[in-house]
């Protein structure tokens, strides 16, 4: 007879799953690395998807992809609703982005990541019917201080005071998009500086919540998949995050409402991902502030990953050396 404690461990993701997930993000990063700087983001994404799917199939869990990537741009994808894992472990929600920053990878620019987030089954907000989300992320200083409904200047002044900084010392990460022209202007008018990012706002959000980062806040409209994925990481970092869905048109708003979403609601962190039993795993594809990218050192392929666990508030870094000749073999499992 299985004890209650043993059954509970079986029903919920435990700490051991993180090291299994790292294998999947490492594989996706390594397989996509030959595409860095080659101008083919779909080729890079396809290689990462295939590798991640293969390795996830070996993990002891019963995962359902709640947040997948690809639908908004016809890219290769792990699709929403896909079952992953070998089905013999805990029931989990999965958010995947085999490459957060396909354009960065194609151009050979920094901050591309391979990402997986996991939480208990039924705990992730399924925002897949609305592709974009307006987000604001800070470290713990923003809790009870910052609100996405307030003007950006007011939020920046309040956060600067909470952090004991001058407004001129504040740095805000924003995706460099035409839709953010006024937001960028307002940040600068408030006296703060911007860190414009061309892609990959998961890293931007995480850096805003890290105690040792030079980024104080991440704001603006990015992908809703990236928003849910980021929320899993913020749980472990003890940071602050809010999101508000940003449908492109009335038809998308109607699809979101039909799926049970409220496009006018401000989603708090616990609305985006319930509970604290979250895992976030990311491996660098290209170098960035968060982790280094894939590199070749003689016969070795080196990867760097970060593993965050919400329940324990633990941040781990995993530096791995992979014998390159093994990656020439088709079946790596």
Has 177 been labeled as part of a binding site?
yes
Residue 169 · residue 143 · CB < 8 Å: no
Beta strands in the chain (DSSP E): 62-67, 83-84, 91-100, 113-120, 132-138, 171-175, 193-197, 217-223, 240-245, 267-268, 279-284, 295-297, 300-309, 314-323
Consult the annotation and say whether 289 binds a ligand.
Answer: no
178 is in an annotated binding site: yes
Q: Annotated binding residue at 5?
A: no
Burial of 186 (0-12, 13-18, 19+ CB in 10 A): middle
> Does the annotation list 73 as a binding residue?
no
The counts of H helices and E strands in the chain are 10, 14
| 6 marked as part of a ligand binding site | no
Burial class (CB in 10 A: 0-12, 13-18, 19+), 322: middle
**201 annotated as a binding-site residue:** yes
Q: 276 a known binding residue? A: no
Q: How far apart are CA 163 and CA 3, in angstroms?
A: 47
Is residue 257 part of an annotated ligand binding site? Answer: no
Is 45 a known ligand-binding residue? Answer: yes
Do the annotations mark residue 243 as ligand-binding? no
Asked whether residue 223 is marked as a ligand-binding residue, the answer is yes
132 is an annotated ligand-binding site residue = yes
In contact, 307 and 279? CB cutoff 8 Å? yes
**97 assigned to a ligand binding site:** yes
Residue 100 is labelled as binding a ligand: yes
Range 282-319 burial, b when 16+ CB lie within 10 A, else e? bbbbbbbbbbbbbeeeeeebbbbbbbbbbbeeeeeebe
Residues that constitute the known binding site = 45, 69, 97, 100-102, 132, 177-179, 199-201, 223, 226
Residues that constitute the known binding site for substrate = 100-102, 132, 177-179, 199-201, 223
Residues that constitute the known binding site for Mn(2+) = 45, 69, 97, 100, 226
């Amino acid at each position: 007879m299985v004890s209650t404690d043993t059954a509970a461990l079986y029903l919920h993701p435990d700490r051991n799953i993180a090291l299994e997930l790292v294998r999947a993000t490492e594989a996706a990063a390594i397989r996509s690395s030959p595409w860095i700087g080659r101008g083919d983001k779909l080729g890079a994404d396809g290689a990462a998807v295939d590798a991640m799917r293969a390795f996830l199939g070996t993990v002891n869990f019963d995962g359902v992809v709640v947040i997948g990537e690809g639908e908004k741009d016809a890219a290769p994808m792990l699709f929403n609703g896909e079952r992953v894992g070998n089905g013999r472990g805990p029931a989990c929600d999965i958010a995947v982005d085999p490459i957060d920053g396909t354009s960065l990878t194609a151009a050979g620019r920094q901050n591309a990541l391979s990402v997986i987030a996991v939480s208990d089954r039924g705990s992730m907000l399924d925002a897949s019917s609305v592709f974009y989300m307006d987000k604001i992320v800070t470290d713990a200083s923003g809790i009870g201080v910052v609100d996405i409904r307030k003007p950006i200047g007011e939020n920046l002044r309040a956060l600067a005071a909470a952090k004991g900084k001058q407004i001129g010392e504040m740095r805000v990460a924003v995706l460099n998009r035409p839709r953010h022209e006024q937001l960028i202007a307002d940040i600068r008018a408030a006296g703060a500086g911007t860190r414009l990012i061309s892609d990959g706002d998961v890293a931007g959000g995480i850096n805003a919540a890290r105690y040792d980062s030079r980024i104080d806040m991440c704001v603006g409209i990015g992908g809703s998949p990236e928003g849910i994925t980021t929320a899993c990481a913020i749980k472990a970092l003890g940071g602050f995050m809010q999101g508000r869905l940003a449908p492109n048109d009335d038809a998308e708003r109607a699809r979101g409402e039909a799926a049970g979403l409220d496009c006018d609601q401000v989603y708090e962190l616990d609305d985006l991902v319930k509970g604290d039993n979250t895992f976030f795993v990311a491996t660098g594809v290209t170098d960035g502030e968060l982790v280094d990218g894939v590199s070749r050192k003689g016969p070795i392929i080196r990867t760097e990953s970060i593993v965050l666990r919400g329940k324990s508030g633990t941040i781990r870094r995993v530096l791995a050396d992979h014998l390159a000749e093994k990656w020439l073999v088709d079946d790596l499992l």
